[in-house]
Structure 1
Amino acid sequence: MDENKQYRMENDTLGNIMIPKTAYYGAQTQRAINNFPISGIRLPRAFIRAQGIIKAASASVNVELGLLSPDIGQAIIQASQEVIDGKWDEQFLVDVYQAGAGTSQNMNANEVIARRATEIMVGAEQVHPNDHVNMSQSTNDTFPSALNIAAVESIQQKLIPALTNLQQELQKKSEQFMPVLKAGRTHLHDGVPIRLGQEFSGYAQTIQNMKQQIEEGLKGLYEIGLGGNAVGTDINLQPGYVPKVIQEVNKRTKLTFREPKDIFAFMQNMSEPLHCMLILKELAVHLIKITSDLRLLSSGPRTGLAEITLPPVQPGSTVMPGKVNPAILEMTHMVCCQVIGYETAISTAARASQLEINVMMPVIAHTFLHSIELMGNAINTLVKKCITGIQADEKICNQWLNESLSLVTGLSPKLGYDMASQIGLTADEQDKTLKEVLEEKGMLTDEILQAIDPKGMV
């Protein structure tokens, strides 16, 4: 206990506990703070905002149904709106690694809103965190619903726009680089000619495909099981509450959330976050491929492929003067490694669904929402500080293309596979160009020259 702080005494079903005097949270939040000094990581702003949305929507419906007095209801709505706006984020102190299912997180919201609502009412009736703020709710229905609301808002507002921007910039580069011929490579060895723009078109389409997958996977997250109560039944629930509370959530988010097809399936499983996380993992895999390609293509500048140049963003060495590294590509790769690891964490936590609920929801919420945030930030940075500034080095592309032994592929229809192979092997063994070997063999006709012209091969 900090000796410099002033404390107040509160109690709950387990007895008395000391709480900082200025804290808006109460006894159950303080117990969680004391019990779980694990990581110092809290659930993100998007989740806290979603909790506020649910509390405000529920209070509004409870007033409409005559379950909550208008005065208390309005105070809860005002306090919840302040939570939505981020005014009380510093009061949400429960660690991500907390009691199962997120009861402590739900009580953190209930207690902060209750104390603030009581303050708003200025000496009138005290607002109770359970009886009033948590009315018609339980942790088991509000926590997964808050997760889905937070995820949909984060994906719609940040990740999809970032992917759209990345796809568009890659497409612009594809069009810009389409005139540039270069050597293709398979197995990291010489391949037939290709246009640099064709390489980039593959990147652009890959990102477009992933964006479409995410948009499709997002649909399942629009199911929110509010009113499911503790196990999915409507115990202690007023008829008409469920459609009305979802309508209120939609009004506040301007989105189209809906009831689950089956409330029990919704509460038993974390299927939709898991499904979307698998898509994020695939996106991470593709981004690793693309950024690794760009690192290879820009390698050098004197001892690598050096077919493209990247915008320099910072010095790359503390000992080698003037060295500049592909820092943005490396950062993106690291983020993708983290997201792939996060998918494993979510898959493992999703297995913990037993009987009526999954008690590992807090860690699922953290890893899923953090993955969305990381991906959005990384992709925006990738576009802004790397992709838009990529340039082609046509001289180097042309040099590698003319030295590529894969041009011998054009001879197969004229000379046959075996003879073309022999010419290619001879050029490699004697460190000569194809033209030099063909000329020595007296085979360098106009027709043969045309057959190994890169322009005719792309």
Structure 2
Amino acid sequence: MTSQKQYRMENDTLGNIMVPTTAYYGAQTQRAVENFPISGIVLPREFIKAQGIIKAAASSVNVELGTLKPELGAAIKQAAEEVIEGKWDAHFVVDVYQAGAGTSQNMNANEVIAKRATEIIGASEQIHPNDHVNMSQSTNDTFPSALHIAASENLKQELLPAIGRLHEELQKKADTFMPVLKAGRTHLHDGVPMRLGQEFSGYAETIHMIYQQLEHNLQALYEIGLGGNAIGTSVNLQPGYIPKIIEEVRRRTNLPFRQPSNMFAFMQNMSEPIRCMLTLKELAIHLIKITSDLRLLSSGPRTGLAEITLPAVQPGSTIMPGKVNPAILEMTHMVCSQIIGYETAIATAGMASQLEINVMMPMIAHTFLHSINLLTNAIDTLTTKCISGIHVNEEICKKWMEASLSLVTGLSPTLGYDMASQIGMKADEEYKTIKDILKDQGLFTEENQQAIDPKGMV
């Protein structure tokens, strides 16, 4: 039998409920804990921080507008700032898969801040989670705004810098490898010669274009609908509340948040997380392509292409001594596969927008923020533990290039496509180089020699 000393009695509009004595949350959070024992996953630190930012900003503005007593506002603000710092994270306990739209998550924040603020102010007055902490707010405007704030901070401070470092490292490799000639490949078959640096420059520019697209997405995420309240009509607000709270959020984050161009569109849809997630999906697709290329180019080392060597980070086999696998590239591919699945999950949840709100916001918030964190960690690891340590095997690049049947392409202007094709096919059949066949057929002139010189074809 559970000791009564471990619990206290709380109540809400549905009646009484037992809450752990040490918990800073109250009745509505406890109901959510009991109703949704689903995953054991809660929304991440950055989302809780964003909730604290909103609650602190609202308390300041409500005091300024005269709707909240200064002593209550000061206590709420202090408690909310402790939430921002992470002091009460252990008391944010609502599962990601919770009641629609995030009402339980909002009440979790309201209750924790109310209890802590009551402690701060003392026994003189009870601070109410709805009447005081949630004043001038609704779950429906604060939850998507908290998501935009959290995602904007993570994109600006974490993911974009990680992508920038990856682009910089790929560009360094492109510059370093530019003198190295190699065989190009299309359809995984011989292609005309190219420079290894050109191949890497393609990777670098692809990542740079994604960086630019995410910067564009970030500008859209700076729209926050605080003050929209239940459905966008700004019910129960004092005049001037919206610009003041947005300015307060701007001050606290040092990011250029602004009012939505249309409050109702903001409330009805999860448009910006959906659009940004599409960019993250594209990033994942490109990373899979790049890492797959690097796995092919480093394959071997004796039975593959082996044009480049990856840094060895761990043993690759429990049975084959000395084997080293492209572990970092494989990890990146796994993360990117997860991101592609996450984009589908968010797109599906986006379809749940009905009439004035989207009720799948908690799942969207978890999935979107987790995607940003996963990609940040994977990209930083890819950059530091793989890309920065890649070395070229110039002799192997030269060997494959000289053996490539695609050198015959240089003969088309002088011998014609059909004759050049016959030379290429004969070289393949006899397992000889193009140069050998030209010599066999008495066609190895100075002009034709220059035509198949890889340096002249790049």
> How would you bin the TM-score normalised by the shorter chain?
over 0.9
Q: Which residue of 2 aligns with 1:266?
A: 266
Distance across 1 between alignment mates of 2:70 and 2:229: 23
Instruction: For residues 405-440 of structure 1, give each alpha carbon's deviation from its aligned partner in whole angstroms, at most 9, with x where no partner exists.
Output: 100001111111111110110010011111211111
Which residue identity lines up with residue 437 of structure 1 in the other structure?
I
- How much has 1:447 moved relative to structure 2? 1.6
Distance across 2 between alignment mates of 1:125 and 1:5: 25
- Decide which moves more: 1-10 or 206-215: 1-10
Distance across 2 between alignment mates of 1:358 and 1:113: 26
Q: Which residue of 2 aligns with 1:425?
A: 425
Instruction: For residues 268-298 of structure 1, give each alpha carbon's deviation from its aligned partner in whole angstroms, at most 9, with x where no partner exists.
Output: 0111110111111111111110010001100
Task: Name the SS for the 2:112 alignment partner.
Answer: helix
Distance across 2 between alignment mates of 1:307 and 1:275: 38
Q: Which residue of 2 aligns with 1:347?
A: 347
Q: Which residue of 2 aligns with 1:218?
A: 218
RMSD of aligned alpha carbons: 1.0
Please state if 1:392 is matched with 2:392: yes
Instruction: For residues 133-182 of structure 1, give each alpha carbon's deviation from its aligned partner in whole angstroms, at most 9, with x where no partner exists.
Output: 00000000000000000010000000110011000000000000000000
Identify if the C-alpha distance between structure 1 residues 3 and 317 changes in structure 2 by more than 3 Å, giving closer, same or farther: farther
Instruction: For residues 236-293 of structure 1, give each alpha carbon's deviation from its aligned partner in whole angstroms, at most 9, with x where no partner exists.
Output: 1111111000010011001111111111111001111101111111111111100100
Distance across 1 between alignment mates of 2:358 and 2:80: 26
Q: Which residue of 2 aligns with 1:379?
A: 379
Please state if 1:205 is matched with 2:195: no
Instruction: For residues 43-99 of structure 1, give each alpha carbon's deviation from its aligned partner in whole angstroms, at most 9, with x where no partner exists.
Output: 111100000000000000000011111111011111000100111111101000000
Distance across 1 between alignment mates of 2:200 and 2:279: 22
Distance across 1 between alignment mates of 2:2 and 2:192: 70
- How much has 1:121 moved relative to structure 2? 1.1
Please state if 1:155 is matched with 2:155: yes
Distance across 2 between alignment mates of 1:113 and 1:315: 50
Instruction: For residues 91-110 of structure 1, give each alpha carbon's deviation from its aligned partner in whole angstroms, at most 9, with x where no partner exists.
Output: 10100000000000000000
Distance across 2 between alignment mates of 1:19 and 1:345: 34
Distance across 2 between alignment mates of 1:252 and 1:441: 78
- How much has 1:352 moved relative to structure 2? 0.5
Which residue identity lines up with residue 241 of structure 2 in the other structure?
Y
Q: Which residue of 1 aligns with 2:409?
A: 409
Which residue identity lines up with residue 425 of structure 1 in the other structure?
M
Alignment of 1:21-32 (within 5 A): 21-32=21-32
Q: Which residue of 2 aligns with 1:304?
A: 304
Runs of at least 4 residues of structure 1 off by over 2 A? 1-5
- How much has 1:349 moved relative to structure 2? 0.4
Task: Name the SS for the 1:185 alignment partner.
Answer: strand
Alignment of 1:74-153 (within 5 A): 74-153=74-153
- Decide which moves more: 427-436 or 129-138: 427-436
Q: Which residue of 1 aligns with 2:60?
A: 60
- How much has 1:3 moved relative to structure 2? 5.8
TM-score, length basis structure 1? 0.99
| Identical residues among aligned pairs (%) | 75
Q: Which residue of 1 aligns with 2:11?
A: 11
Q: Which residue of 2 aligns with 1:439?
A: 439
- How much has 1:5 moved relative to structure 2? 7.4
What is the aligned length?
A: 458
Alignment of 1:285-324 (within 5 A): 285-324=285-324
Query: Unaligned 5+ residue runs, structure 2?
Result: none
Which residue identity lines up with residue 326 of structure 1 in the other structure?
P
Task: Name the SS for the 2:184 alignment partner.
Answer: strand
TM-score, length basis structure 2? 0.99
Q: Which residue of 2 aligns with 1:192?
A: 192
Identify if the C-alpha distance between structure 1 residues 122 and 279 changes in structure 2 by more than 3 Å, giving closer, same or farther: same
Instruction: For residues 365-416 of structure 1, give each alpha carbon's deviation from its aligned partner in whole angstroms, at most 9, with x where no partner exists.
Output: 0111111111111101100100000010001100101110100001111111
Identify if the C-alpha distance between structure 1 residues 331 and 4 changes in structure 2 by more than 3 Å, giving closer, same or farther: farther
Task: Name the SS for the 2:87 alignment partner.
Answer: coil
Which residue identity lines up with residue 182 of structure 1 in the other structure?
K
